[in-house]
Structure 1
Amino acid sequence: MGHTVSWRAPLCHGVFSAYHSGMGKTASSAPGTLPRTRRAILDAAIGVLAEDRTASLGDVARAADVGRSTLHRYFPDRAALVRALFEDCAEVARRSLADAALDQGPPAEAFGRLVAAMFDLGPRVDFLFAEPQLGDEEWDGELWERAQTPAAMLFERGRAEGYFAADVSLEWFFRSLWYLMSAGWEAITEEGLARHEAVALVTRTLTSGLVARGAADPG
């Protein structure tokens, strides 16, 4: 792979309480409540920077069809823009996983919805994972933990019901998810794989591994 991906799993049990206290709230930075110009800048920025992380703020302004002075009024520097992109991504992820209703239905069906929802976050997440201006303060913070809480709760429910293996940790669960998501995104951009094919391969690899069913166990 041509870039670094981080799994960025929630690491504390506080993530579960965050689900009950915060999942029903709408953040002030939610995409639907942003001023139109700010929304246009964020949408343009994630496209431009995901394609070329060395792109300038001028490149972002041109893609958003706004002047440099307008962009700087919202985001005075690159660090402020990246931070806003992270907050926006966390909100989009939170909404996507909430809409996937991971607390409903058998774990196997909910897991399929989880993979599809996470996959559609696409280059938005892939770019931010590799962004050096974002560190543990952001990825281990409340925003990202809250976004991933439904997935963490699905894992705990699935493990309790015997769907996920008892010896698989929450950390490994998230590592596997994000690394395979990245592989799927790369397969689309580099190999021309269709989205539904990539999602199916990611899901199958996560649920069944790479060894064909019925293959002889070398042990």
Structure 2
Amino acid sequence: MKKDLSALKEARFNAILDSATILLVENPTASMNEIAEYAGIGIATLHRYVESREKLMLFLGHRAIQLVSDTVNQIPLDEERSENYIPELIEALIPLGDKIYFLGHDATVFNNKELGEAEEKLREPLRRIIELLQQRGYFQQTVSSEWILNTLYALLFHTWEQVHEGNVAKKSAAELVLNTFYYGFKAKDELRGK
């Protein structure tokens, strides 16, 4: 019976986190009272699950990292077609933006050592893919893999933000990220001419 109760409590907590995510996307500075109200619970109930807004943001940060990690792990790396990995990854990550991008602006999440370590662990396989693509001549070897990875991350977060603000259509977001990442802003004819 106790196991069922904890499963029920976990399901309720996940529902609270889902509600908090929806609200925080629209209002990143929402208070605990606003989050509780949006979730349809009282503030005392919310505090039984999380003691502070900072703790809530950390839970959301861990949840986002897990969501991205699960997505990354679902994309197989075919060594023979490794150049397809990044496009497949971006296609899979774009739909997650509304659950993640707002966390990039929260100081609690941004400065948390544990979350930083979890994110670094998440980034390591991506760094290895980039290094493999550099070895195969797909990316310049004169540019550090860290720079390439950080550029890709920045493009992804900025695209999520632009989709949220209505400046970029969600359907075209992945293509925009990939075109910008691979080709920058130079006109295609000029690229072929050199």
With the shorter chain as reference, the TM-score category is 0.7 to 0.9
Q: How does 1:1-219 map to 2 (within 5 A)?
A: 35-102=10-77, 105-134=80-109, 135=111, 137-141=113-117, 143-191=118-166, 193-215=168-190
2: CA distance between counterparts of 1:190 and 1:73? 34
Instruction: Show structure 1 runs of 5+ residues with no match.
Output: 1-31
**Hey, what does 2:3 align to over in structure 1?**
none
Higher relative contact order (CA 8 A, sep 6+): 1
Alignment deviations for residues 120-161 of structure 1 (CA, whole Å, 9 cap, x no partner): 3313332111111131514531x2122223312211211111
2: CA distance between counterparts of 1:106 and 1:47? 37
Return the index of the structure with the highest Cα Rg. Answer: 2
**Hey, what does 1:12 align to over in structure 2?**
none
Identity of counterpart residues, as a percentage? 28
87 and 182 in structure 1: CA distance in 2 versus 1, 3 angstrom threshold: closer
RMSD: 2.5
Alignment deviations for residues 98-117 of structure 1 (CA, whole Å, 9 cap, x no partner): 11224555122111012123
More helix by share: 2
2: CA distance between counterparts of 1:163 and 1:99? 23
**Hey, what does 2:4 align to over in structure 1?**
none
192 and 160 in structure 1: CA distance in 2 versus 1, 3 angstrom threshold: same
216 and 198 in structure 1: CA distance in 2 versus 1, 3 angstrom threshold: closer
How far apart are 1:75 and its partner, in Å?
A: 0.2
AA aligned to 1:171 is E
Q: Is the 8 A contact 2:61 2:115 kept in 1?
A: no
How far apart are 1:177 and its partner, in Å?
A: 1.2
How far apart are 1:178 and its partner, in Å?
A: 2.1
2: CA distance between counterparts of 1:119 and 1:168? 25
Q: Is the 8 A contact 1:102 1:150 kept in 2?
A: no
Deviates more, 1:191-200 or 1:69-78: 191-200
Matched length: 186
AA aligned to 1:112 is P
Q: Secondary structure at the match of 1:165?
A: coil
Q: TM-score, normalised by structure 2?
A: 0.84
1: CA distance between counterparts of 2:93 and 2:13? 24
Q: TM-score, normalised by structure 1?
A: 0.75
102 and 60 in structure 1: CA distance in 2 versus 1, 3 angstrom threshold: farther
Q: Is the 8 A contact 1:103 1:150 kept in 2?
A: no
Instruction: Show structure 2 runs of 5+ residues with no match.
Output: 1-6
Deviates more, 1:72-81 or 1:161-170: 161-170
